[in-house]
Amino acid sequence: MHVSFPASVRALAICSLIFLLLLTGAAVSGCASELSLEKSVGGASWKRSEKGDFAKVEILYATDRAKRDVSTPELYFGGDRKPASATLSLGTVIVAIPRDHRMASLESPAWWRLELTGDPGKHVTVVELKELGNDHFQSTLQRLANQSDDGHLLIFIHGFNVSFDEAARRLGQITYDLGFAGAPLLFSWASKGGISNYVADSNSIETATDDYSNILKQVSSDFSVKRITIVAHSMGNRLLMALLQDISKFENSTRSKFKEIIFAAPDIDSQIFCQRVPAALKTMNATGTLYASSNDLAIQISEKVSSFPRAGATTDGVLTSPNIISIDASATNTSLIGHSYYADSVSVISDLMESIKGVTPRLRTGLSPSTVRHRDACSEGGESWILKDRLAR
């Protein structure tokens, strides 16, 4: 027997089905067609889609990771290293930033909201990845650097337990939050992306130095690049520390482009840091900024495993040196683990913004002087500051 339902009931059933499909991420992605370009903010262009408004941030990448699944941007590169005889993979990534993005947030899908995949209207999402040949990579670098008045190149080196996708999303977020208008470049070394892979990641970053030194020399010597800022996080500071030794040997015309070197939560032995970093910065005539925190659980664990103090800890005060602005970020509002405060804290992002703009520590809104010295201070002198939490009442 055929049963006929009223039109209103059928419409309600169809709407309910569509709603369930959207919740489970099963809706056809092709339905989210782009409607129009709206405006540009810094280096990000706004687009409107049926999934919501989002900004598109274009970043460059160089990676020694082996390819994993080339059918999707999120899984394009995995945690294994490329063959020793192969060159770095070069290219660009487009990162979507949702219109309702909050500063210092890396909006991500949540399983408890039944969000199985990234939605550019809600989440910071990699929406496009392109591999480029060396010449095309270089011309793209020039185009992006020329978007800024001073030919600015921002290089980001991620830390331990980070996938390529997460690193790209993080640099997209940082670029957008800083209002950075130049060329953002990701150095994504082959982290396994797992908490249990600390030793494997330590080995991988040791093998990466030569490849990244070569690409760093290539991009820094480009005529369009006139100013360079490097931000390294956690274990990524080990690669940065090795690169500083090479930068100090570059031609003076290239070496002088390196203006700001940011050490965020460095997972480095304090004494090794003191032996290598200040001298390299002095040769480069560059300013170093060290962010450390007593609430960084990952650094605390690293100290226990290694049995030696880390440069990113403040157990005995923040590490100081005449060539480095040392900042204790312990008071800033951050996550439970407290290791990603360099990008998860509005206070740190705001301070980074002022630093890149050339504002001296005494004139920055969130800093106050500190007189506490680290037991392993690199030498006499150096500036030590405390960063206040801007969200604290």
Tally of domains in the chain: 1
**Looking at residue 340, which CATH number applies to its domain?**
3.40.50.1820
- Report CA-CA distances (Å) from 315 to 232, 271, 318, 335: 21, 15, 8, 19
d(CA 262, CA 324) in angstroms, rounded, equals 9
Q: pLDDT (tens digit, 9 = 90+) per residue, 88-140? A: 999 999 999 999 999 999 999 988 888 888 999 999 999 999 999 999 999 99
Q: Measured between alpha carbons, how far apart are the two ends of the chain, in Å?
A: 68
Confirm whether 229 is domain-assigned. yes
In a domain? residue 51: yes
The SS3 call for residue 361 is helix
Question: Under 8 Å CB-to-CB from 227, ≥6 apart: which residues?
Answer: 150, 151, 152, 153, 182, 257, 259
Both tokens of residue 242?
């090795």
In the prediction, which pLDDT does 107 show? 95
21 occurs within a structural domain? no
Residue 3 lies in a domain: no
Structure confidence at residue 317 (pLDDT): 80
**316-339 residue pLDDT tens:** 788 999 889 999 999 996 677 889
Give the domain extent around 379: 36-387
Give CA–CA dist 87/65, Å, rounded: 10
Report if residue 339 sits inside a domain. yes
Alpha helices per DSSP H over 248-327 = 252-255, 270-284, 297-306
Q: Low-confidence residues of the chain, pLDDT below 50? A: 1-42, 393
- Whole-number pLDDT of residue 24: 38
CA distances from 186 to 37, 104, 290 (A): 26, 18, 20
State the pLDDT at residue 47: 58
How does pLDDT run across 161-195, given as a tens digit for each residue? 999 999 999 999 999 999 999 999 999 999 999 98
Residue 81 contacts by C-beta under 8 Å, 6 or more apart in sequence?
64, 65, 66, 190, 204, 207
Nearest CA-CA partner of 78 in 92, 68, 93:
68
By DSSP bridging, strand 383-387 and strand 367-369 are antiparallel
Give, for 52, the enclosing helix (H) or strand (E): strand 52-63
pLDDT of residue 3: 41
User: Is residue 31, in this structure, part of any structural domain at all?
Assistant: no
Nearest to 229 by CA among 145, 103, 129, 322: 145
H or E stretch including 384?
strand 383-387
The answer to whether residues 171 and 156 touch, using CB atoms and an 8 Å cutoff, is yes
Q: Is 382 in contact with 324 (CB distance < 8 Å)?
A: yes
Residue 234 lies in a domain: yes
The upper half-sphere exposure of residue 338, i.e. CA atoms within 13 Å in the direction of its Cβ, equals: 19
Residue 257 C-alpha from the chain's centroid: 21
Tell whether 11 is covered by a domain. Answer: no
**Cβ contact 218:108 at 8 Å:** no
pTM of the complete model: 0.87
Residue 328's pLDDT is 95
